[in-house]
Each structure stands twice: as structure tokens, then as C-alpha cells.
């Protein structure tokens, strides 16, 4: 069985290569029904990266 891919077309013309959700043609990030959840996940990811950078600088720690 060949793996399925998300059918979203990226701005540069390529097709998203993420695995689509079971009940649709899009992945989590491009599914219109999960738009708000995806935005919140992106926001939380950015907060986490900032926190890790601040902690690594304050404690001279290479990474988590």
C-alpha cells in the first residue's frame, strides 16, 4: 500500500508531504476544521522555544 499525503498545495507549488487525517484529504496543519487548534499549537511551540533559549542562556546549558 502506498502512503497517502496531504493534498494542500504550498505557496511554491509543491504538495505538503504530511500524512493526512483519517477522515479527510488534509493533514492536521492544513485541515480547515482544525485551524484554531493548529494556530494554538504553533503559538505554544513558539513559547516553548523562547523559554528553552532563555533557560539555556541563563544556566549555560547546551540543550534539553
Dump pLDDT digits (tens) for 41-52. Answer: 888 877 666 666
- Within 8 A by CB and 6+ apart from 19, the residues are 3, 4, 5, 6, 27
Find out whether 6 and 25 touch, Cβ atoms under 8 Å: yes
- DSSP, collapsed to helix, strand or coil, labels residue 7 as coil
CB 16 within 8 A of CB 27: yes
Question: Tell me: the pLDDT tens digits for 3-42?
Answer: 789 999 999 999 999 999 998 999 999 999 999 999 898 8
pTM above 0.85, yes or no: no
Amino acid at each position: 500500500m502506498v502512503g497517502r499525503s496531504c493534498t494542500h498545495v504550498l505557496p511554491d507549488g509543491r504538495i505538503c508531504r504530511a500524512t493526512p487525517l483519517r477522515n479527510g484529504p488534509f493533514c492536521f496543519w492544513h485541515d480547515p476544521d482544525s485551524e484554531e487548534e493548529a494556530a494554538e499549537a504553533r503559538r505554544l511551540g513558539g513559547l516553548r522555544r523562547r523559554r528553552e533559549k532563555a533557560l539555556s542562556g541563563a544556566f549555560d546549558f547546551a540543550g534539553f
